C-alpha cells in the first residue's frame, strides 16, 4: 500500500489540484450505493446501433482503430448530458474501484514510502501476511520475486503491482532488516488485506474521543463501532466525528452510523426517484452514543454519505456541525454490470435529509462547471474567511426550529475557514523532504527499542525528541541549503509545524495512520474550535433558537407532513 504522507495540502497553490482530485475520487467512491457490489444487476449484451457502428468501423475502416477506446468515448458522449456522478467504469479499473468500497484487496499487507530510490516499509498490517513473515516497519525492500526494486527508479504504482496478487500466491521478498541491517529473504503468502475506513481514533482529553472516517465502505460501520466502544471504555462521554475529505460510499454504512447517535425511531434519510420506490431509513433504539455531546467536522470535500450523516445530525439537533460547507452531492447511484467486464454507475434517485431538503448542488451548467465549483469557492474566499451564502433560500426547519437550507451542501453551524497561516511551500518541502524522511528513519532505527509506548495518547504526551530529529535533518544538508532551512525553521510558528510533522511521521512507524493523524490534531484549528464548543456553554446555544419548537410531538407532526406523501418539507 502506498504512502499517504502527501495528503497534506501544499498551500493554496495546490488547492485547485486537490479539488479536482476530490471530484474524481467522489465520482469513484462517493456513491450512495443502495446495494452491495455483491448484488449488482447485469445488463444483457445486445446488438444495438452503437455496437453495429463500431463493428462496421472495425471491419471496413481504411486504418486500424482502437475499438475499445471508441466505445468508451462513445459512452462518455452518451453520459455527457446526465449528472456528473453517472459514470462508466472501464473493466481495467473496476477491480480497484470495487476493492475500495468492499474494504479489502489481495496483497501482503504493508504501507511504504520511496526515499532516495529505496522502498521502505512504514507500516505492517497487524497479523497480516507480511507480519506473519517477520516483516517490520523500517525494513527496506531490495527485490520482489525476480524484480529489483532498489536503485532502479521504482514507482509507487509499480511496487504496488508487484506486491499485490491472487490470494494464496507467494511473493519472495528480499529485504534489509531494520533491526540489524542484514539481508533476509521472506516468502510472503498473499491474503486479503483490509482497507481501513478509519484514519484515527483517540482520546483528545479525559472525556472526549475523536474518530476520523475516510470513507463509507462495507467494513466502515464495524470499524467505527469497535473504535467508539474502545473510546467509551477509556472514558469518552463526548465525541468529535471527523468526516472531512470523506467522499462517501455505501448508504447503509452511513445510516447505521447515524443510528448510533439518534434516540428512538427517527428518519435518517429518504430517497426518491422517477422509477424507484420511495425509501425511508429510520434509526432504532439502543445506539452506542445516544447521550453526550457530539460534534461533526465537515469541509468542502465531505460528500454523499458523509452529508447524509451530517444532515441527519443537524436536522435532529443531535450535534453541532463545524467546518465549511460540504461538497453538495445528494444523488443515489446503482451499479450495473456490462458484458465487456465494465460497469455503469447510474443515478437512480435523490436523497433528502430529515427536514426534507435536498443538498445536491446544481449541475445545469454542465460537467466542467460542476468540476470547477470547489476551485471557485477558493477564488471567492469561501474557504479562507468568507462564509457561504445559501444557494437555495428555501427555508427548512430542524427539530428545534432552527432554519437550515438545501441546494449546495450542508452549511455548518459553526464556520471555520481553512487555515493557511501555518503552511508554505518551503515548510512543506522541509517537512516531507527525502532528508527529513531519512532523519526520521535513522532516529527510529536507533531508538526503536526505547520507544515502547503503550498507546498513541502516551506517545503524544511523553515523546519529546522532535528537536533531535530536526537537528539530524539539518546535519544531512550542506551549504546554502542548510542555511536556508535553518532560517525557515528559526521562526517559532514554522518550527512548531516542522516538529509536529516529524512527530506525526515517526508515530506512523509505531501506530500506523492512527498515530500519524492523532498527532496532527494538536495543530488543527477546526479540532481546536470543536473542543472549545464542547467545553463551554456554546454547545447548547448552537442547537437552540429563541423560537425553538422543543417538542417531540411537534417534530413528529413535521415528519408526517414531510414524508408521508413524498413532499419536500419546504416552508
Active site residue 329: yes
Question: CB-based contacts of 214: which residues, under 8 Å, 6+ apart?
Answer: 196, 197, 198, 199, 245, 246
Q: Is 312 helix (H, G, I), strand (E, B) or coil?
A: helix
Q: Is 199 helix (H, G, I), strand (E, B) or coil?
A: strand
Active site residue 304: yes
Judge whether 171 and 196 are in contact, CB under 8 Å: no
156-165 long-range contacts (CB < 8 A, ≥24 apart) are: 156/2, 156/3, 156/112, 156/114, 159/2, 159/112, 159/114, 159/119, 160/1, 160/2, 163/107, 163/108, 163/110, 164/105, 164/106, 164/107, 164/108, 164/190, 165/106, 165/107, 165/190
Judge whether 35 and 453 are in contact, CB under 8 Å: no
DSSP assignment string, 224-284: HHHHHHHHHHTT--EEEEE-TT---BBHHHHHHHHHTT--SS-EEEEEE-SSS--EEEE--
Residue (of 207, 217, 158, 210) closest to 33 by Cα position = 217
Question: CB-based contacts of 237: which residues, under 8 Å, 6+ apart?
Answer: 207, 208, 292, 293
Task: Single out the catalytic residue among 199, 245, 315, 373.
Answer: 315
Judge whether 290 and 261 are in contact, CB under 8 Å: yes
CA–CA separation, 546 and 421 (whole Å): 36
Task: Single out the catalytic residue among 137, 304, 355, 358.
Answer: 304
DSSP assignment string, 429-453: HHHTSHHHHHHHHHHHHHHTTT---
The count of C-alpha atoms lying within 13 angstroms of the C-alpha of 92, restricted to the half-sphere facing its C-beta, is 3
CA–CA separation, 163 and 193 (whole Å): 12
CA–CA separation, 103 and 105 (whole Å): 7
Can you read off the three cell numbers belonging to residue 102? 468492499
Residue written as grid cell 493557511? 420
Can you read off the three cell numbers belonging to residue 83? 449528472
Task: Single out the catalytic residue among 212, 266, 293, 329.
Answer: 329
Just list the catalytic residues. 304, 315, 329
Amino acid at each position: 500500500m502506498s504512502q499517504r504522507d502527501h495528503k497534506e495540502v501544499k498551500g493554496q497553490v495546490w488547492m485547485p489540484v486537490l479539488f479536482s482530485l476530490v471530484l474524481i475520487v467522489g465520482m469513484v467512491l462517493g456513491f450512495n450505493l443502495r446495494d452491495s457490489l455483491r448484488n449488482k444487476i447485469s445488463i444483457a449484451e445486445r446488438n444495438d446501433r452503437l455496437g453495429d457502428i463500431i463493428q462496421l468501423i472495425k471491419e471496413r475502416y481504411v486504418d486500424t482503430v482502437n475499438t475499445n477506446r471508441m466505445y468508451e468515448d462513445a459512452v462518455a458522449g452518451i453520459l455527457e448530458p446526465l449528472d456528473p456522478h453517472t459514470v462508466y467504469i472501464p473493466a481495467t479499473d473496476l477491480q480497484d474501484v470495487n476493492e475500495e468500497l468492499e474494504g479489502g484487496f489481495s496483497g501482503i499487507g504493508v504501507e511504504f514510502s520511496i526515499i532516495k530510490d529505496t522502498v521502505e516499509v512504514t507500516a505492517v498490517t497487524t497479523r497480516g501476511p507480511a507480519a506473519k513473515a517477520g516483516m517490520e516497519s523500517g525494513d527496506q525492500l531490495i527485490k520482489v520475486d525476480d524484480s529489483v526494486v532498489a536503485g532502479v527508479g521504482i514507482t509507487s504504482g509499480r511496487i504496488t503491482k508487484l506486491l499485490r496478487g491472487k490470494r494464496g500466491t507467494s511473493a519472495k521478498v528480499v529485504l534489509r532488516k531494520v533491526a540489524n541491517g542484514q539481508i533476509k529473504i521472506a516468502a510472503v503468502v498473499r491474503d486479503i488485506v483490509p482497507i481501513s475506513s478509519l484514519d484515527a481514533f483517540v482520546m483528545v482529553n479525559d472525556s472526549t474521543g475523536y474518530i476520523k472516517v475516510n470513507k463509507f465502505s462495507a467494513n466502515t460501520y464495524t470499524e467505527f463501532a469497535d473504535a467508539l466502544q474502545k473510546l467509551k471504555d477509556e472514558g469518552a462521554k463526548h465525541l468529535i466525528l471527523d468526516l472531512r475529505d470523506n467522499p462517501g460510499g455505501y448508504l447503509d454504512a452511513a445510516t447505521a452510523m447515524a443510528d448510533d447517535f439518534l434516540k428512538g425511531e427517527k428518519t435518517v434519510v429518504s430517497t426518491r426517484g422517477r422509477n424507484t420506490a420511495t425509501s425511508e431509513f429510520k434509526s432504532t433504539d439502543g445506539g452506542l452514543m445516544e447521550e453526550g455531546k457530539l460534534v461533526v467536522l465537515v469541509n468542502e470535500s465531505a460528500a454523499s454519505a458523509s452529508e447524509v450523516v451530517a444532515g441527519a445530525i443537524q436536522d435532529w439537533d443531535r450535534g453541532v456541525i463545524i467546518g465549511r460547507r460540504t461538497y453538495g452531492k445528494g444523488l443515489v447511484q446503482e451499479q450495473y454490470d456490462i458484458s465487456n467486464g465494465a460497469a455503469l454507475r447510474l443515478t437512480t434517485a435523490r436523497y433528502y435529509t430529515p427536514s426534507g431538503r435536498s443538498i445536491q448542488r446544481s449541475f445545469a451548467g454542465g460537467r466542467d462547471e460542476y468540476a470547477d465549483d470547489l476551485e471557485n469557492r477558493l477564488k471567492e474566499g469561501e474557504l479562507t474567511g468568507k462564509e457561504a451564502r445559501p444557494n437555495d433560500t428555501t427555508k427548512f426547519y430542524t427539530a428545534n426550529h432552527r432554519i437550515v437550507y438545501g441546494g449546495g451542501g450542508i452549511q455548518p453551524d459553526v464556520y471555520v475557514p481553512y487555515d493557511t497561516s501555518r503552511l508554505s511551500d518551503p515548510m512543506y518541502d522541509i517537512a516531507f523532504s527525502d532528508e527529513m524522511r531519512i532523519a526520521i528513519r535513522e532516529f527510529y532505527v536507533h531508538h526503536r527499542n526505547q520507544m515502547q509506548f503503550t498507546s498513541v495518547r502516551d506517545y503524544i504526551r511523553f515523546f519529546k525528541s522532535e528537536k533531535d530529529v530536526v537537528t539530524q535533518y539539518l546535519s544531512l544538508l550542506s551549504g546554502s541549503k542548510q542555511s536556508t532551512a535553518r532560517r525557515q525553521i528559526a521562526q517559532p510558528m514554522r518550527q512548531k509545524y516542522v516538529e509536529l510533522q516529524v512527530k506525526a511521521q515517526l508515530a506512523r512507524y509505531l501506530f500506523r495512520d492512527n498515530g500519524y493523524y492523532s498527532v496532527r490534531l494538536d495543530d488543527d484549528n477546526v479540532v481546536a474550535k470543536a473542543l472549545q464548543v464542547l467545553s463551554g456553554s456554546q454547545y447548547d446555544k448552537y442547537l437552540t433558537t429563541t423560537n425553538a419548537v422543543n417538542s417531540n410531538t411537534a417534530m413528529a407532526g413535521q415528519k408526517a407532513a414531510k414524508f408521508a406523501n413524498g413532499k419536500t418539507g419546504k416552508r
